[in-house]
Structure 1
Amino acid sequence: MKTELPLAEVYAILEPGPVLLVSTAQDGRANVMPMSWHTMMEFEPPLVGCVLSAANHSFKALEATGECVLNVPSAELLDQLVGCGNSHGDQVDKFARFGLTAVPSAQVAVPRVEECWANLECRVVDRQLVGSYNFFVLEVVQAWRDPAATAPRTLHHRGYGKFMRAGEEIQTGSAMR
């Protein structure tokens, strides 16, 4: 028999995808924070919707510059990801503190995180829901991936300090290419 689930725990069931490390930069200072509230919105051009709390240093930078990088870590970066989430970008250089390497991007003035297996350089293309929901629509303008990472084990946030690693990859007869 099922039991009632507190509404504050619904997000842990519906988390859309892997936890990302979002890098931003403003006034010559780079920052990185974990984010799990994102969704694909379109294939081409690739559009990603995401929510950042207005209380975060990264929100202010993204709002001001309109640029970020969505860095996709594998499970091996769990400690760095949690460390970045438990510290404040206006108080500490998270790249230095957590041993992350900032490398220049090609299309945006925001560094990529070298240790992540994929990096998506983005520009904000729609701010209509920022005021109401802190929801940005990003267009991916350049994408990078490590060809050696064939089936990376990504992290998925389950709430309250719990994560799940992506599991076995299953191939089906999908018509999508």
Structure 2
Amino acid sequence: MTKRSYPLSKVYGILEPGPVVLMTTAHKGKVNVMPLSWHTMIEFEPPLVGCVVSGNDFSFKALTATRQCVLNVPTAELAAQVVGCGNTHGDQVDKFEAFGLTPVKADDMEVPLIAQCYANLACRVVDTRLVNRYNFFVLEVFKAWLDPACKNPQTLHHRGRGVFMVAGEVIRLPSKMK
């Protein structure tokens, strides 16, 4: 087998760990939706998620100020809205209105859920030690919702530069994990 050199600037497309999520934030009466694919599970109970949010994003300012967000998990049917949200700026566009997304009020939060997403994870920032250096936030999921009608969600996985992969066939193998 012959392998060839691969550009380091494209490595993230190989390692993207999970589905693209739509992070919703709210600050000073303004809500925003931002596609996020740079995230990873850190712990299971309580669920901790690490994520990178660019310091140039409107969501970065909101997340830093309010320390809360919702990770909304879309399916492939929302691919156009995901890309549209990523190609616009939250300080200039109401992304809920522009892309036909429905905000849903969550208890005890200013940050809305997105109705069209099959799962919604309410989060609070619990660790910011790596924010100044890497823009890396640690979030604790403190409440979660799932659409029971969505049995086999076809999630989007970002491969870089406008390329996505859709989660495919489900396989089940023996596991000793509970």
Fold match (TM-score > 0.5): yes
Match of 1:91 in 2: 92
Tell me, in whole angstroms, the C-alpha distance in 1 between the residues paired with 2:82 and 2:27: 21
Tell me, in whole angstroms, the C-alpha distance in 2 between the residues paired with 1:50 and 1:160: 19
Tell me, in whole angstroms, the C-alpha distance in 1 between the residues paired with 2:72 and 2:84: 16
Per the normalisation by structure 2, the TM-score is 0.98
Match of 2:63 in 1: 62
Equivalences for residues 1-177 of structure 1 within 5 A: 1-177=2-178
Tell me, in whole angstroms, the C-alpha distance in 2 between the residues paired with 1:126 and 1:98: 32
Q: CA deviation at 1:107?
A: 4.0
Q: Which runs of 5+ in 1 are unaligned?
A: none
Letter in 2 for 1:36: S
**SS in structure 1 opposite 2:79?**
helix
Tell me, in whole angstroms, the C-alpha distance in 1 between the residues paired with 2:93 and 2:141: 28
Is this contact kept in 2: 1:106–1:142, CA < 8 A? no
Tell me, in whole angstroms, the C-alpha distance in 1 between the residues paired with 2:69 and 2:43: 18
Q: CA deviation at 1:175?
A: 1.3
Letter in 2 for 1:65: T
- The share of aligned pairs that are identical, in percent, is 64
Runs of 4+ that moved beyond 3 A? none
Letter in 2 for 1:83: G
Tell me, in whole angstroms, the C-alpha distance in 2 between the residues paired with 1:90 and 1:10: 30
Is this contact kept in 2: 1:34–1:81, CA < 8 A? yes
CA-to-aligned-CA distance 1:8-35 (integer Å, 9 cap, x gap)? 0000000010000000000111100100
Q: Which runs of 5+ in 2 are unaligned?
A: none
Is this contact kept in 2: 1:21–1:32, CA < 8 A? yes
Over the aligned positions, Cα root-mean-square deviation in angstroms equals 0.6
CA-to-aligned-CA distance 1:67-107 (integer Å, 9 cap, x gap)? 00000000000000000000000000000000000001124
Aligned residues: 177
